[in-house]
């Protein structure tokens, strides 16, 4: 079995073995091309902030990297850019996506979580991934961006088609075409009828001052939506899994509501919803973990491997609330590409845990869980739960 395939089924096992065998490995990437994988916390952390590692595919050696092959109208996004373009676009996105806008969603998102929980209350058994975490995360990012309710089911199916272990190149291409058509129509509708949402704010930034090209606008909308729910849904279900798997932990959360955000950080570290950082291309020969990597090669950074590095964390495979620095994990990246949606993801997971904890105090798992096979994202396929009285 090749490394990519093994990673899809047992990412933590594979990363642990590679991390112990050495800091940097030569692998075959999912697109069949050679690449490097960096496995340890100190090296991954340094590489995330290293300006010599470009995210722009223009720095890949010709013919050495295929990736998703997005059309230009979806590819002019923050995760394919370096300064100064990245700086300009990130500032614009940051203006619309403020911490205050996220915090102001607390009340609304809390009510949305309650409403979803109310909808479950008549049932004995539910799947908290399908019936709670996913619709909650999809609803949250849709509200923020201004995606109408009737469109939300469509884009839930896209994720599997693009990120699943069985995704094919043709399948990905067809899905990407569909997504592009969706965003063009959505942006046209917002332009005709602006609302108080983030997409309307970004369109205003584009139209008033022309600081954002049309491709950049479509790409940003695409990135925010696509990055905005799959990872969050996975973090939410991971946090619920941790809570439902450990009675002592659940008692602590009940006794001390301040412990809930700590759990969310610890789960973000332990499960690492994004297993790998976005691929990077050295703009010059660089040394990583003592290995010389030639300019233009493809470099993957194992966020999941770093977050469970025993050189950095005591008992890294355990979820517990007593870590001295629970938020210093690398799950949201680091440096100029630090996740713009981290406050939203944290808020969603916190509200989800609080809601299930108080609404269904006797909920318990009744069947084994399975993970979605993927080398990119870590998420539960289902979380079957009996809600209890
Ligand atoms: C648990 C949930 C999430 C996780 C684990 C996550 C993870 C990450 C990571 C690791 C990066 C850095 C990539 C790199 O440097 O290679 C990143 C960047 C980014 N994330 Fe997230 N993310 C999450 C939720 C969100 C949400 C909710 C949004 C939007 C609503 C979002 C939007 C973005 C954007 C736009 C970037 C690019 C920032 C830039 O390049 O300046 N993410 N995310």
pLDDT of amino acid 196: 85
Look-up: residue for tokens 């301040």? 258
The response to whether residue 141 sits with its C-beta less than 6 Å from ligand 1 reads: yes
> Residue ranges of the alpha helices (H) in 193-213?
198-209
Assess whether 339 carries a catalytic annotation: yes
- DSSP-assigned letters across all residues of 259-316: HHHHHHHHHHHHH-SBSBPPPBEESS-EEETTEEE-TT--EEEBHHHHHT-TTTSSST
**Structural domains of the chain, ranges and CATH numbers in brackets:** 3-386 (1.10.630.10)
- Measured in residues, the chain has a length of 389
The three-class DSSP label of residue 334 is coil
Residues 6+ apart with CB under 8 A from 47: 38, 53, 280, 288, 299, 301
pLDDT of amino acid 209: 65
- DSSP-assigned letters across all residues of 161-190: HHHSTT--HHHHHHHHHHHHHHHHHHHHHH
* Tokens linked to 25: 């490995």
Assess whether 142 carries a catalytic annotation: no
How far does the centroid of ligand 1 lie from the alpha carbon of residue 231, in Å?
8
Atom of ligand 1 nearest to the CA of 77: 40
Torsion of CA 91, 92, 95, 97, to 10 degrees: -100
**Rounded distance between C-alpha atoms, residue 298 and residue 369, angstroms:** 34
- Which amino acid residue places its CA nearest to atom 19 of ligand 1? 339
Q: How many CA atoms lie within 13 A of 61 on its CB side?
A: 14
* H/E element, 365: strand 364-365
Assess whether 386 carries a catalytic annotation: no
277, 339 Cβ separation under 8 angstroms: no
Per the residue annotation, which of 230, 265, 266, 350 is the catalytic one?
A: 230
- Which amino acid residue places its CA nearest to atom 6 of ligand 1? 332
How far does the centroid of ligand 1 lie from the alpha carbon of residue 288, in Å?
24
pLDDT of amino acid 117: 97
How far does the centroid of ligand 1 lie from the alpha carbon of residue 28, in Å?
25
CA distances from 99 to 80, 260, 337 (A): 24, 20, 16
- DSSP-assigned letters across all residues of 105-135: THHHHHHHHHHHHHHHTT-SEEETIIIIIHH
**Rounded distance between C-alpha atoms, residue 39 and residue 23, angstroms:** 5
pLDDT of amino acid 165: 62
The response to whether residue 332 sits with its C-beta less than 6 Å from ligand 1 reads: yes
Strands 299-301 and 34-38: parallel
pLDDT of amino acid 164: 63
What is the chain's Cα-based Rg? 21
* Tokens linked to 180: 């592009």
Among 183, 196, 186, smallest CA distance to 226 is for 183
* Tokens linked to 152: 């939300």
Per the residue annotation, which of 76, 227, 274, 304 is the catalytic one?
A: 227
The response to whether residue 227 sits with its C-beta less than 6 Å from ligand 1 reads: yes
Residue to probe by mutation, ligand 1, list 105, 227, 270, 276, most atoms within 8 Å of CB? 227
Assess whether 265 carries a catalytic annotation: no
pLDDT digits (tens), the chain, 389 positions? 478 788 889 999 999 999 999 999 999 988 889 999 999 999 999 999 999 999 999 999 998 887 767 778 888 889 999 999 999 899 888 877 778 878 888 999 999 999 999 999 999 999 999 999 999 999 999 888 888 888 887 777 777 677 666 677 788 888 888 888 888 899 999 999 998 888 898 888 776 666 788 888 889 988 888 888 899 999 999 999 999 999 999 999 999 989 999 999 999 999 999 999 999 999 999 999 999 999 999 999 999 999 999 999 999 999 999 998 988 999 999 999 999 999 999 999 999 999 999 999 999 999 999 999 888 899 999 999 999 87
348, 137 Cβ separation under 8 angstroms: yes
* Tokens linked to 204: 């205003």
């Amino acid at each position: 079995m090749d490394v990519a395939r093994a990673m899809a089924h047992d990412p933590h096992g594979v990363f642990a073995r590679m991390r112990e065998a050495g800091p940097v490995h030569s692998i075959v990437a999912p697109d069949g091309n050679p690449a490097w994988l960096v496995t340890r916390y100190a090296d991954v952390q340094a590489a995330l902030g290293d300006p010599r590692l470009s995210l722009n595919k223009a720095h890949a050696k010709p013919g050495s990297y295929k990736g998703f092959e997005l059309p230009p109208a979806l590819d002019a996004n923050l995760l394919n850019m370096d300064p100064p373009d990245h700086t300009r676009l990130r500032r614009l996105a940051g203006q619309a996506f403020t911490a205050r806008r996220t915090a102001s969603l607390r009340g609304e998102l809390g009510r949305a979580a309650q409403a979803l929980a109310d909808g479950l209350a008549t049932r004995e058994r539910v799947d908290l991934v399908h019936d709670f975490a996913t619709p909650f995360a999809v609803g949250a990012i849709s509200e923020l961006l201004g995606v109408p309710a009737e469109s939300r089911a469509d884009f839930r199916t896209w994720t599997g088609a693009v990120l699943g272990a069985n995704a094919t190149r043709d399948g990905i291409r067809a899905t990407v075409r569909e997504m592009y058509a969706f965003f063009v129509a959505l942006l046209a509708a917002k332009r005709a009828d602006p609302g108080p949402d983030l997409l309307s704010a970004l369109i205003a930034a584009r139209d008033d001052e022309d600081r954002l090209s049309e491709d950049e606008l479509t790409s940003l909308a695409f990135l925010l939506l696509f990055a905005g729910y799959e990872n969050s849904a996975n973090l939410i279900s991971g946090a619920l899994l941790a809570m439902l798997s450990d009675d002592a932990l659940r008692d602590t959360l009940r006794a001390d509501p301040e412990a809930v955000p700590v759990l969310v950080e610890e789960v973000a570290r332990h499960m690492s919803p994004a297993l790998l950082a976005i691929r990077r291309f050295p703009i010059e020969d660089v040394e990583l973990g003592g290995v010389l990597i030639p300019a233009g090669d493809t470099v993957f950074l194992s966020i999941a491997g770093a977050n469970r590095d025993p050189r950095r964390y005591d008992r890294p495979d355990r979820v517990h609330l007593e870590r001295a620095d629970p938020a210093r994990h690398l799950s949201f990246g680091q440096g100029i590409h630090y996740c713009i949606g981290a406050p939203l993801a944290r808020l969603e997971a916190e509200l989800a845990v609080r809601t299930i904890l108080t609404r269904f105090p006797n909920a318990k798992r009744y069947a084994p869980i399975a993970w979605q096979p993927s080398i990119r994202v870590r998420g539960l396929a289902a979380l079957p739960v009996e809600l209890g009285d």
